[in-house]
Amino acid sequence: MTNEQLKEKILKLNSSAAIAEGKTYLTVTVPSSELYALAKTLKESEDTAFDYLMCLTGVDYATNLGVFYHINSSKHNHSIVLKTTTADRENAEVDSVYSLWKSAEYHEREVFDLLGIKFKNHPDLRRMFLDDDWVGHPLRKDYVDTINIVER
């Protein structure tokens, strides 16, 4: 499907989605509560068939936290970007897409580890790279470490 067709299709599925044309991919912004449902339909419907999660990225936008999902269809070879944000920085929570794409398991653990976004229904959400007793989430913009991070 081309980007235009995808745009139409997504607007039909979720009218509240904000769609921005990126350089190559469409970026679909949806509220975190609706993301899972949209992802599920996108994966399961025959003409989109987004069965391959390329990349899952967590971002700290200073005021809110965001998660990007780069998904691709191995059958049709079209890609799309899903984006969601949560304003709650203390208890940020997004639905896990592990049940759709198993490759999300480590991606989500990594995001939880470094950005502190919790994923609901993740089977094994614990720290990925850092120690279990580490305090804070290093990729957040307000993370301070006076010993190891040298500001220039």
| Cβ–Cβ under 8 Å, residues 14 and 36 | no
> With binding defined as CB under 8 A, does residue 74 bind other proteins?
yes
State in angstroms the smallest separation of the CB of 72 from other proteins.
8
> With binding defined as CB under 8 A, does residue 103 bind other proteins?
yes
Residue type, 140: R
Taking CB under 8 A as the criterion, the residue among 26, 81, 97, 125 binding other proteins is 81
At 119, is the secondary structure helix, strand, or coil? strand
Total binding residues toward other proteins, as defined by CB under 8 A: 37
Burial annotation 47-79 (CB, 10 A radius, 16+ → b, else e): ebbbbbbeebebbbeeeebbbbbbbbbeeeebb
> With binding defined as CB under 8 A, does residue 25 bind other proteins?
yes
Taking CB under 8 A as the criterion, the residue among 1, 40, 110, 118 binding other proteins is 110
> With binding defined as CB under 8 A, does residue 60 bind other proteins?
yes
State in angstroms the smallest separation of the CB of 128 from other proteins.
6
Measured CA distances, 102 to 6, 64, 98, 143 (Å): 24, 26, 5, 30
> With binding defined as CB under 8 A, does residue 19 bind other proteins?
no
> With binding defined as CB under 8 A, does residue 23 bind other proteins?
yes
The Cα 117–Cα 114 span in angstroms is 8
The Cα 114–Cα 99 span in angstroms is 22
Binding positions for other proteins, rule: CB under 8 A:
22-25, 27, 51-55, 57, 59-60, 68, 70, 74, 77, 81, 101-103, 105-107, 110, 114, 127-130, 132, 138-139, 149-152
